[in-house]
Chains A and B, each alone.
Chain A
C-alpha cells in the first residue's frame, strides 16, 4: 500500500502525523460533542472551588506591593497586616488565586469595589470548602508528637454543628506563605493558649497530654509540668522534683539525659555520686561524698571538718588545720598514703634541734611549734 518509491522511514512520519491528528481531532471534536449534549447541571455537591488566579490580578497589584498598600492604607499597622509575599503564589493554595477564597472583585483598581463582598476568613464562613479536599486529616501527627482535633472539627462541619475551632486558627497563613506540613514554620503553643483563654476554654488546657504525645513513660511518677517550665520550648526545664542537693550549682547546668537514661529515665530515686563521678582519691566508694564535698559546687572545695582529723592524727591542730587537704594528702591518697614524718613537710632547724631525737620528742601535739618540752 505504501508507494514503492517511498522510504521505509516515512511510516514513522505517518504514525507521528496520526498522533498529531488525534490531538487535533480531539480538540476540534470535543466542543462539538459538548454542543450535541444537553448541558446537565450536576447535582450540587460542594461549593465549587474555582481556579481564580487569572481573576485575582487586582488583589496582587496592591497586596504584593508595599508602596501601593501604603498609598491606600489608613495606618502602618494595616500595611503590615495586609501585605502578602509574592512567593505565596508558588504554593498550592496560593495558586488557587485570591478570589477563590476571599471573593471580592480581583479585576478592579477601585479599593471599595475590590473589597465588596470580601470574605476575610473562608474557614469561618465556608469551612466545607477546606474539607472538600482535606476531609481525611489525621488526629495524630506522630512526627510532631501531637494530638489534634481534626476528626472532631470535620465531623462538626459536615453535620453543621457549632464548632468553635476554625481551620485558620492553626493554619491561618495557608496560601500566604505558611506551610503547615513542612515543619519549617512551627505554630507556637502560645497561639493555642491565648486562643483558649480568649474563648474561655482553659479547662481543656490543664493537661499537656491532651495535645502532646509525651516521649517519657513517667506517668506514674511525674506530670509534664513538674519538669517542663515553658509553653514555647520543651528544653526549658526546671526540675524541682530533684532533691535540693542536686538541683543547684554545676548540677543545675547539665541536661537531664546526661544522668538519666533516655527516654524513660533510669530511676527517679537513689542515685549515688559514683554513678557519674570517678573518684579522684582512694576513699571507699560507699563513702558519702557530701560529707566532705559541697555537692554541685566544686569538688575542690571540701569541708575537712566533716572528718575528725584529731582522732586520726594528734597534730591536726593549730596551723595544721589551715593546710589544704592536698598539702598533706599527696596525689589524692587519703588512706595509707600519708608520710607521718614531720620532715616530709618541715625542714630541721639545725641550730636548735638535736638530730638524734624525733620532732615529737620535743614538739607536743597540743602545744605550739615554739613551745618545746
Chain B
C-alpha cells in the first residue's frame, strides 16, 4: 500500500457513507409514515441526528487530508466554481447536505421532546406557528436526494482517480462503461445506515422492533446480498482487467489484505448479519445479541470495505 493511502481517507469515506445511509433509512421510515405509527421511533431519532455530525466530521477530515485545506483554507472556496471537477460537485453536495441533515436532526429531536420545542417556540414567537412536520418532511425530501449524492460521491471520489488505479475505476461489468465504486459505496452506505439505525439502535431501544416491521429482515438481507454481489462483481471486473487490476483483486482475496477482507468484511459484515437476519425471519425476532452484533458487524465492515479497497489499489502494469 502506498503510504499516502492510509486510514484517514478510509475513515472519511466511511463517515460520509454512514451519515448518508443513516439519513436515507430514517427518511424512508419518515416518508412511508411508519415513523408516526408509534409514539417513539429510535431509527429516525438516530438516523436523523447522527447524519449531520458524522458527515461534517468526515468533510473536516477530508479537508485536513487535502493538506492545502489546512494551510490555506481559503483555497477551498476556489473549488466551488469549477463545475467540470467532481470535487466541485462534492463540495456543493456536502455543503447543502450537512445543514439540511442538521435541520432534520433538530426537528426530529423537537418531535421526540415536544416540551423543549414549546419552550423554544415560546421564546421565539416567530416559530410558534411553524408547521414542524411539514418543514421536517421538506428537509427529508431535499436531504434524501443529497444523501444519495453524498453516498455516490464517496465512490466517485476514488473512481475519478482513473487509470492510475485500475481497481478503483473498474466497471460494474467488464466492458460496461458504468463505474462500480459509486454504486458499491451507495449500497454499502445504505447497509451501514441500516446496521446502525435499525440493528443496533432500534434493538437496544426496543427489543421488539423486528415485530414492528415484518419485512425488515428481508429488506436488510437484500441489501447485504446486493453488497455481496457487487463486491463479487468488483473482483470479477478487476480480475478481467488483468495487470494491476487483477493484482489488486489478488491482494484483497489471497494477498496481504485477505484477513481483513475475509474476517473484517465478509465474515462480520456479510455472513454473520445475513445468517442472523435469516434466523430472525424464522424466529420472528432478533435476539438482542444477534441484533446488536449484526449492527456492530455491518458498521465495522463498512469501514473495512473502504480501507481494503483503498489499500489494495495498485498502479497499472506497464
Contacts and interface: CB of A to CB of B under 8 A. Distances in A.
Contacts, number: 146
A27 B307 CA distance: 10
Contacts of B317: 43, 45-46
B187 interface: no
Contact of B18 (A14, A19, A39, A46): A19
A46 B318 contact: yes
Nearest to A136: B163
Interface string A45-70: 11011110000000000000000000
B150 to A, nearest CB: 16
Contacts of B244: 45
A147 to B, nearest CB: 22
Contacts of B295: 18
A45 B247 contact: yes
Interface residues of B, number: 64
Nearest to B54: A19
A44 to B, nearest CB: 9
A113 interface: no
Contacts of B45: 8-9, 11-12
Interface in A1-56: 1-2, 8-9, 11-12, 14-16, 18-19, 21-23, 25-27, 29-30, 32-34, 36-40, 42-43, 45-46, 48-51
- Chain A: interface residue count, which band? 35 or more
B112 A29 contact: no
Contacts of A12: 45-46, 49-50
Contacts of B204: 1-2, 11, 14
A290 interface: no
Contact of B316 (A29, A36, A132): A132
A4 to B, nearest CB: 11
B264 A1 contact: no
Contacts of A32: 259
B246 to A, nearest CB: 9
Contacts of B28: none
Contacts of A30: 7, 260, 264, 304, 307
Given A8-B45, A11-B204, A22 B299 contact: yes
Which interface residue of A9, A42, A43 has the most chain B CB atoms within 10 A? A42
B3 A33 contact: no
A34 B40 contact: no
B303 A1 contact: no
A131 interface: yes
A50 B3 contact: yes
B164 interface: yes
A135 interface: yes
Which interface residue of B14, B49, B204 has the most chain A CB atoms within 10 A? B204
A306 interface: no
A95 B244 CA distance: 24
Contacts of B7: 26-27, 30
Interface string A104-145: 000000000000000000000000100111011000000000
Contacts of B250: 42
Given A9-B109, A18-B295, A42 B314 contact: yes
Interface stretch (B126-134, B140-148, B194-202, B276-284): B194-202
A143 to B, nearest CB: 12
B182 interface: no
B115 to A, nearest CB: 13
B68 interface: yes
B156 interface: no
Contacts of A136: 162-163
B243 interface: yes
Contact of A15 (B4, B162, B196, B288): B196
Given A37-B256, A40-B256, A45 B243 contact: yes
A26 B318 contact: no
A336 B303 CA distance: 97
A135 B316 contact: yes
B255 interface: yes
Nearest to A50: B3
Contact of B255 (A19, A36, A42): A42
A179 B44 CA distance: 49
B46 A11 contact: yes
B307 A26 contact: yes
Interface in B248-306: 250-251, 254-260, 263-264, 288, 295-296, 299-300, 302-304
Contact of A8 (B10, B205, B254): B205
A158 interface: yes
A49 B4 CA distance: 11
Given A26-B264, A27-B7, A50-B3, A18 B316 contact: no
Contacts of A36: 259
Contacts of A49: 2, 315
Given A8-B45, A51-B4, A23 B303 contact: yes
A90 interface: yes
Which 7 residue pairs across A and B have the least CB separation, nearest first? Answer: A33-B259, A33-B260, A45-B317, A22-B300, A51-B4, A15-B46, A1-B207
15 contacts: A1-B206, A1-B288, A11-B46, A16-B50, A16-B53, A19-B15, A19-B196, A30-B260, A34-B260, A36-B259, A43-B247, A43-B317, A45-B243, A48-B315, A90-B68
Given A23-B303, A132-B316, 10 more contacts: A1-B288, A9-B45, A23-B11, A26-B303, A33-B259, A34-B260, A45-B243, A48-B2, A50-B3, A132-B164
Interface of A: 1-2, 8-9, 11-12, 14-16, 18-19, 21-23, 25-27, 29-30, 32-34, 36-40, 42-43, 45-46, 48-51, 90, 95, 128, 131-133, 135-136, 158
